[in-house]
Amino acid sequence: MTQRAALPDLDTLNREALKALIVAQQEQILSKDEQLLRKDEQLASRDEEIERLKLLIAKLRRMQFGRKSEKLDWQIEQLELKLDELEASRAQQAAASPVSLAASEVNRAAKRARRPLPAHLPRETRKILPKQEACPDCSGALKLLGEDVSEILEYVPEHFKVIRQVRSKLACVRCDKIVQAEAPSRPIERGVAGPGLLAHVLVSKYCDHLPLYRQSEIYAREGVELDRSTMAEWVGGCSRLLEPLVEALRRHVMSAAKVHADDTPVPVLAPGNGKTKTGRLWTYVRDDRPWGDKTPPAVWFAYTPDRKGEHPIAHLREFTGKLQADGYAGYDAVYEGGRVEEVACMAHIRRPFYDLYEAHKSAVAKEALERIAALYVIEEEIRGRSAEERREIRNLRSRPLLDSLKQWFQETLGKLSTKSDTTKAIRYALGRWKELMRFCDDGHLEIDNNAAERSLRGVVLGRKNYLFCGSDAGGERAAAIYGLIGTAKLNGLNPEAYLREVLSRIADHPINRIEELLPWNLAAEVAGQKSRPAA
């Protein structure tokens, strides 16, 4: 909440000062009016785009029943996804802005009446009684006066159910005072979805890679009509609700002494022209389990609309330590000054030799792969040992192999064409040799950056299924949820069970204790849930 400037004592001001104060106040009012007008125009434009997309999708669906066209199916899928993202953005912005929230209440009233929850679903009734056992005014006995009943659509693994919340009204027999328990908080205010259903929608979208319109079709087969637009509002509302938790996750990752980093392209729909541009998802992983550390592992994702070097600089502004990453030039500014030390990745050195061997069965590539494989045998043997043991064994056994590999690279260069792909692969390795050797001197480090690459596997699968992110805001939402899901998996938790537990608590949880909702702090509660195992 912004702090208001104190009004000066008007009785002490002369005529000129009063005039100046009035003029200044008038300018502030006009400025606020202009800002509100621009905001209203942006909201109106977005709402018009949503309605236009709905009409276009309906038109294309009618055409679909004529001559079958794979191109038409693809076009509909892209429009559906764009609509998901626009409506999720509207819900997320409404949750963040009191002005927008008030406007959304007006829009909600204008909408058609909410459909009753399906009668065929099993009902679970929960009685919610007041905490008071006697009248708070006169201590008289309480008698039942009536009940308020509301329903929540919940999802438990493999089926839906409806929870009926019955809040009994009790009246004092002596003074007629009415007592009733407050309605329990919901993850999304006045929303019909319970935390289990919200978690299922999020995990289906971001972990199982099912866009919302496909989920809507799946739920319809179970007799539950859930509009895609309704689920988009849930996704936007949850994203807003989870923002403090994602920030706590970022702080945990960046407080490490060593971080793995990588990035991957994601197609993003460019506004206005229906074409796609290339955004980036960056991953930062903290995982010290290979040297026996008990600190919980975690991954934090960030989305950016491009791959400019300014982004890793911003992401790593609070980080001090060793960064294990590829040779992307955008990291160079991060290494300047010595606050962050570069550590190279053996997997990136190995990869071009693997490609060469697969393509040409090159004898040089084969020998390079065999020499590198010997290093990984040692790494497998020392996994889980202390940092000091790892350092000693690497210096005793790995360093001689690396010295031999370097000498062989240098000798082989003289026998190859300067323009061959094998020459390029060797020169890349020799150019990063100093940074590569650092893992021998520090048992806390890894031989490669595979921890970061593993965290991107789900993103790559999602990219294949989604075709693109619907907007930059959609990319930011994806980054936030990918981080929570990925961290839950790193800690051995079912991501759906974890998000269910978080969403059942976070609305009432103190913001200054948000770290209590990080995956490792909820492990016991999540393990106690009866749910299907994580994928």
CA torsion angle 456 461 462 468 (round to 10): 100
Residue 471 CA to residue 480 CA, distance in Å, equals: 14
* Tens of pLDDT, residues 486-506: 999 999 999 999 999 999 999
Nearest to 200 by CA among 502, 497, 522, 477: 497
Which whole number is the average pLDDT over 398-402? 97
Which whole number is the average pLDDT over 443-465? 86
Give the β-pairing of 159-172 and 178-180: antiparallel
pLDDT of residue 401: 97
- The least confident of 199-208, 452-461, 517-526 is 452-461
User: Please, which pLDDT band fits residue 72 given cuts at 50, 70 and 90?
Assistant: low
Residue 268 CA to residue 279 CA, distance in Å, equals: 6
Q: What average pLDDT does the structure give for the chain?
A: 85
- The least confident of 5-9, 133-137, 373-377, 481-485 is 5-9
83 or 327: which carries more pLDDT confidence?
327
User: Please, which pLDDT band fits residue 160 given cuts at 50, 70 and 90?
Assistant: confident
Which whole number is the average pLDDT over 369-380? 96
User: Please, which pLDDT band fits residue 35 given cuts at 50, 70 and 90?
Assistant: confident
pLDDT of residue 100: 45
CA dist list (Å): 285 to 212, 259, 274, 532: 28, 6, 34, 26
pLDDT of residue 416: 87
Residue 422 CA to residue 280 CA, distance in Å, equals: 29
Q: Is 223 left (phi over 0), alpha (psi -120 to 50) or beta?
A: left
User: Please, which pLDDT band fits residue 461 given cuts at 50, 70 and 90?
Assistant: confident
345 or 155: which carries more pLDDT confidence?
345
DSSP state letters, 58-119: HHHHHHHTSS--HHHHHHHHHHHHHHHHHHHHHHHHHHH-HHHHHHHHHHHHHSPPPPPPPT
Query: Are 156 and 196 within 8 A, CB to CB?
Result: yes
Could you give the percent of the chain with pLDDT greater than 90? 53
Evaluate if residue 368 carries a pLDDT over 70.
yes
Query: Hey, what are 149's tokens?
Result: 């009943």
* Tens of pLDDT, residues 252-307: 999 999 999 999 998 887 766 667 788 999 999 999 999 999 999 999 999 999 99
DSSP state letters, 352-417: HHHHHHHHH--HHHHHHHHHHHHHHHHHHHHTTS-HHHHHHHIIIIIHHHHHHHHHHHHHHHTTS-
Sheet containing strand 276-286, strands side by side: 298-304, 276-286, 258-269, 321-324, 340-343
Query: Hey, what are 457's tokens?
Result: 């596997």
* Tens of pLDDT, residues 423-436: 999 999 999 999 99
DSSP state letters, 222-253: TT----HHHHHHHHHHHHHHHHHHHHHHHHHH
Residue 49 CA to residue 47 CA, distance in Å, equals: 5
* Tens of pLDDT, residues 190-224: 888 999 999 999 999 999 888 888 899 999 998 99
Helices (H) then strands (E): counts for the chain: 20, 9
Evaluate if residue 65 carries a pLDDT over 70.
no
Which whole number is the average pLDDT over 408-435? 93
Which whole number is the average pLDDT over 375-397? 96
Residue 177 CA to residue 168 CA, distance in Å, equals: 14
Range 216-234 burial, b when 16+ CB lie within 10 A, else e? beebeeeebebebbbbbbb
Name the pTM for this structure. 0.76
pLDDT of residue 78: 61
